[in-house]
Amino acid sequence: MNILIQTTQNVVLTYPLANVGVRIAAFVLDLVIVLFFYFGLIITVLGRSEIAQILLSALLFLTYHLLFEVFMNGQSPGKKIVNIQVVSLDGRSPSLDQLLIRWSFRLLDIGVSFGLAGLFFAVSSSLQQKLGDVLAGTIVVNKKSLQHPGLHTLVKLNQAEKGHINPLLKKYSDEDMIIVKTLLARVRSYDTIENKSLLRKMANKIKEDLKETDQTTDAETYLNKILHDYIIITR
């Protein structure tokens, strides 16, 4: 299942949602890592100091996911291994507040219910969200399935039709042009008023950046030419 996300740059991207099976696999991997730390470090280092063991074990189990997801941009080690990531519904990296809300409901989603509550919410939600995700405004996406083709495969260049190329195009990156290509593909697949409006906004923004005044070429034709010109000038 995919979700369409409009980013803060007014670009619509398609993200494949991480299915329940992959998320369970990530959880199991994280559990193995936590148990490794518990048996390999806490017990070994602290020996028979039961109070210290209990305190450090509780700290490890309670803070593991929060700390890793804060410092690893929405990923725990288990999530990183299976290539899934927590993101905001608007496509941005999750904020600290969102991760705190999501983490605070792990006790209900996974703890006291032994994962049944989280599984129920994820299966019944159209966006496969646990309760913590719903309240935090986050989703879990599958980064492995989100593949962008290399720029050299995006267009077939006709050397006879190079024409004039604006040298200011060098200010853009490959990632910028992939976003342009993604939006063009989205408009071709979903020819809606909203997508066409986003296409015009992007074309006008690029014209402004490149100091171009041409208002006669339609947005789709203009952005396709930008892609061609960018590849020529940067390759």
- Tell whether 160 and 127 lie within a shared domain: no
Question: What does each C-alpha distance from 17 to 14, 53, 98, 136, 181 come to in angstroms?
Answer: 9, 38, 18, 17, 21
- Tell whether 64 and 156 lie within a shared domain: no
Among candidate residues 90, 114, 142, the one where a domain is terminated: 142
- Tell whether 36 and 95 lie within a shared domain: yes
**How many structural domains does the chain have?**
2
- Tell whether 55 and 123 lie within a shared domain: yes
- Tell whether 92 and 204 lie within a shared domain: no
Among candidate residues 142, 175, 203, the one where a domain is terminated: 142
Which range of residues forms the domain containing residue 91? Answer: 2-142
- Tell whether 157 and 229 lie within a shared domain: yes
- Tell whether 161 and 185 lie within a shared domain: yes
- Tell whether 160 and 93 lie within a shared domain: no
- Tell whether 56 and 88 lie within a shared domain: yes
- Tell whether 125 and 166 lie within a shared domain: no
pLDDT < 70 positions in the chain: 1-14, 41-49, 52-53, 91, 111-114, 144-163, 235
- Tell whether 138 and 158 lie within a shared domain: no
- Tell whether 19 and 129 lie within a shared domain: yes
Among candidate residues 109, 142, 175, the one where a domain is terminated: 142
Predicted local confidence at residue 116, as pLDDT: 77
